[in-house]
């Protein structure tokens, strides 16, 4: 079995490429079911966020795993062509290291942001609930989540509340010609990203927040939490005329703001500039809007420049996380190597136990007059004989797990103890 991951992120692909291969929650559910139907896929998890899409799989009997995973992705997305240069591919130890770095937010656009850990946990739970994970991935992803928590606890990487939403707020603040607390903000979308954005805005003193969403009750719930006002999505343009900042994160599959809506907003504002920040993938705002007078448009890729401002301190903390990740990888590899020999050790133990029970039964049948205490003594003695007889072979077999000698020992044990026939 081979552990692999195929993916793309903010470093490997531009936003227009990432949005083509992103999955919403419902799409992940159907993609997991489809992925698990492939004969060579033993276990799988799909992680899809605004900055990355990653498909983790445990493959069996695949000669060219990268080509296989690219073909799988084409099937899942119905794509005619895939630009391989936009994707990264890791296997075995490199796959584990990548996952641990993702969980520790060392691979995030905003180093140290906390959202990725909950997103990774959600991706794992969804795959687990769908029956797409087994022993290997349950161990792997639970350990990854544990590593992410440990890095955040034992380093200062999360001390500064920096995330994509926080960076968006900073970018909006830098682009305004008035103090941020005096600004009026319109948020399109009522999901997690919108909630985080509203939290950061309120922390910076913003008092006037409008929230618009396709499901109006969700807009009302979010607006109420931040003392704002809910707006029906088909009327958001009327409120944009009074907004200094418009932030979008709806998850819609199409543009929410086209050039037509943008022209209407600029005409209503009568020359007053507006800052638009699109942190959605797929994008909510037509990129052509950036060329319109009076509109300052930033999409998620634009956030990279702001991220650089506090990068030095976060990178120092990230270096402190490296030993944590390295130790966790070594511990996991030891555990996974043991899993490869565990079936053989179980077969040998089970056969020895069958023989012990059979011979004990025969012996006790010839001694009908012995007491219950004496029977217990014989049972205990036979168990200890089996345990001590198997102890040295088990220790040695565990030592060669994952080495070139492992295959030889498999064959040797099978032949010596006739395990295939009776196991």
Sign for the pseudo-dihedral over CA of 158, 164, 167, 173: negative
Q: What is the pLDDT of residues 148-172, one digit of tens each?
A: 999 999 988 877 656 678 888 888 8
Query: With contact defined as beta carbons under 8 Å apart, do 290 and 260 qualify?
Result: no
Mean pLDDT of 379-392: 88
Q: Which long-range contacts (CB under 8 A, 24 or more apart) does 418-423 make?
A: 419/344, 419/347, 419/348, 419/351, 422/351, 422/354, 423/347, 423/350, 423/351
Tokens of 88: 């990264």
Neighbours of 293 (CB within 10 A): 7
The pLDDT, as a whole number, for residue 317 is: 85
Q: What is the pLDDT of residues 169-223, one digit of tens each?
A: 888 888 888 899 999 999 999 988 888 888 889 989 999 999 999 999 999 999 9
Average pLDDT, the chain: 87
The pLDDT, as a whole number, for residue 422 is: 41
50 catalytic, yes or no? yes
The pLDDT, as a whole number, for residue 281 is: 85
> Scanning the structure block, which residue is given the tokens 């209503």?
268
The residue annotated as part of the active site, out of 40, 44, 50, 95, is 50
Please report, rounded to a whole number, the percentage of residues in the chain having pLDDT higher than 70: 93
Burial of 66 by CB count in 10 Å (0-12 exposed, 13-18 middle, 19+ buried)?
middle
Mean pLDDT of 307-334: 83
- From 167, 210, 205, 216, select the one nearest 185 (Cα to Cα): 210
Residues 223, 170: Cα–Cα separation, whole Å = 21
pLDDT band of residue 90 (cuts 50, 70, 90) is very high
CA distance to 219, 245, 300, per residue, from 184 (Å):
17, 7, 21
Query: With contact defined as beta carbons under 8 Å apart, do 120 and 47 qualify?
Result: yes
Angle between helices 164-175 and 192-203 (to 10 degrees): 50
């Amino acid at each position: 079995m081979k552990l692999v991951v195929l993916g793309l992120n903010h470093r490997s692909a531009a936003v227009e490429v990432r949005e083509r291969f992103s999955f919403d929650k419902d799409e992940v559910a159907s993609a997991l079911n489809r992925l698990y139907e492939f004969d060579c896929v033993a276990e799988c998890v799909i992680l899809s966020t605004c900055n990355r899409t990653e498909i983790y799989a445990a493959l069996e009997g695949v000669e060219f795993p990268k080509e296989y995973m690219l073909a799988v992705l084409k099937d899942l997305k119905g794509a005619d062509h895939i630009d391989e240069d936009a994707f990264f591919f890791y296997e075995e130890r490199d796959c584990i290291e990548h996952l641990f770095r993702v969980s520790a937010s060392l691979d995030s656009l905003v180093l140290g942001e906390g959202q990725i850990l909950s997103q990774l946990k959600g991706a794992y739970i969804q795959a687990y609930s769908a029956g797409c994970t087994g022993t290997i991935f349950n161990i792997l992803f639970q350990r990854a989540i544990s590593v992410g928590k440990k890095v955040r606890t034992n380093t200062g990487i999360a001390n500064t509340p920096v995330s994509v939403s926080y960076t968006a707020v900073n970018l909006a603040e830098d682009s305004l010609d008035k103090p941020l607390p005096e600004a009026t903000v319109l948020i399109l979308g009522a999901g997690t990203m919108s909630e985080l954005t509203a939290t950061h805005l309120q922390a910076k003193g913003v008092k006037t927040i409008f929230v618009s969403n396709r499901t109006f009750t969700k807009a009302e719930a979010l607006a109420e939490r931040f003392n704002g006002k809910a707006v029906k999505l088909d009327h958001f343009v009327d409120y944009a005329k009074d907004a200094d900042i418009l932030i979008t994160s709806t998850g819609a599959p199409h543009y929410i703001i086209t050039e037509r809506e943008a022209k209407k907003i600029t005409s209503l504002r009568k020359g007053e500039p507006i800052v638009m920040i699109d942190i959605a993938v797929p994008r909510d705002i037509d990129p052509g809007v950036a060329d319109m007078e009076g509109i300052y448009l930033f999409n998620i890729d634009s956030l990279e420049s702001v991220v650089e401002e506090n990068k030095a301190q976060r990178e120092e903390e990230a270096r402190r996380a490296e030993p944590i990740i390295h130790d966790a990888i070594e511990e996991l590899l030891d555990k996974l190597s043991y899993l490869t020999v565990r079936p053989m050790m179980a077969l040998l133990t089970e056969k020895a136990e069958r023989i012990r029970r059979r011979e004990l039964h025969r012996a006790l049948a010839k001694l009908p007059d012995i007491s219950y205490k004496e029977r217990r003594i014989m049972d205990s003695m036979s168990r200890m004989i089996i345990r001590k007889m198997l102890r040295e072979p088990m220790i040695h077999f565990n030592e060669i797990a994952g080495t070139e000698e492992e295959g030889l020992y498999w064959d040797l044990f099978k032949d010596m103890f006739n395990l295939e026939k009776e196991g």
